[in-house]
Amino acid sequence: MSHRELPENILEQIPFARFLGVKMELAGNELTLKLPYEDRLIGNPVLPALHGGVIGAFMEITAMAQLAFSENFTHMPKPINVSVQYLRSGKAMDTFARARLNRVGRTIANVDVIAWQDNKEMPIATLQSHFLLKG
């Protein structure tokens, strides 16, 4: 059996994931990523609300981390396209995300991600994505 990368190491490989402050937990083979709240992640100071770009990026990292972990990749998969639906504004609190690998082919993977805050039944955003798998 080949060596399986620890989830923390997957995130450590991405400087931008460290910049956002993304953390992760592992339950079985399923990762839950956590984006701890910080003031600098705010896009609308009046509401206040997390920047939409923060939520999109967090979900993209979640998809990459789940792919890298489940498929035991040594290289980060490259995004081909992502589509983000914003359902509710992101409040000034911690955000969580979980990915589902719909299909992992030889060259392309299709991944869905859902992000939520205080109630998983009320997601704040969803993401559909394709990744290019190499190396």
Partner 1 sequence: MPPQEDQPSSFSDMFASIVDSTPYMRALGAYYAGKSSDGVSMGLPYRADLIGDPESGVLAGGALTAILDHGCGMAVWDSLNEFKPIATLDLRIDYMRSAKPGKDMIVTAKCYKLTRTMGFVRAFAYDETIDDPVAAAQAAFVITSNSPNGQRS
| Residue 51 is a binding residue for partner 1 (CB under 8 A) | yes
Piece of 1-9, 27-35, 78-86, 103-111 that binds partner 1 (CB under 8 A) = 78-86
Among 7, 35, 58, 109, binds partner 1 (CB under 8 A): 58
From residue 41, alpha-carbon distances to 9, 48, 52, 90, 111 in Å are 23, 10, 9, 10, 25
Specify the stretch interacting with partner 1 by CB under 8 A; choose among 28-36, 53-61, 93-101, 113-121. Answer: 53-61
Q: What is d(CA 12, CA 121) in angstroms, rounded to the nearest whole number?
A: 30
Map the footprint of partner 1 across residues 6-35, applying CB under 8 A.
13-20
Q: How far is the CB of 41 from partner 1 (least distance, A)?
A: 6
Query: DSSP string of 84-99?
Result: EEE-SPPPSS-EEEEE
Closer Cβ to partner 1, 78 or 100, answer by number: 78
Residue type, 62: T
Q: How far is the CB of 20 from partner 1 (least distance, A)?
A: 8
Length of the chain in terms of residues written: 135
Question: CA 72, CA 74: separation in Å to the nearest integer?
Answer: 7
107 binds partner 1 per the rule CB under 8 A: no
Instruction: Determine the Cα–Cα distance for residues 57 and 84; give it in Å rounded to an integer.
Output: 10
Binding stretches for partner 1 (CB under 8 A): 13-20, 39-45, 47, 49-54, 56-58, 60-61, 75-76, 78-86, 88-90
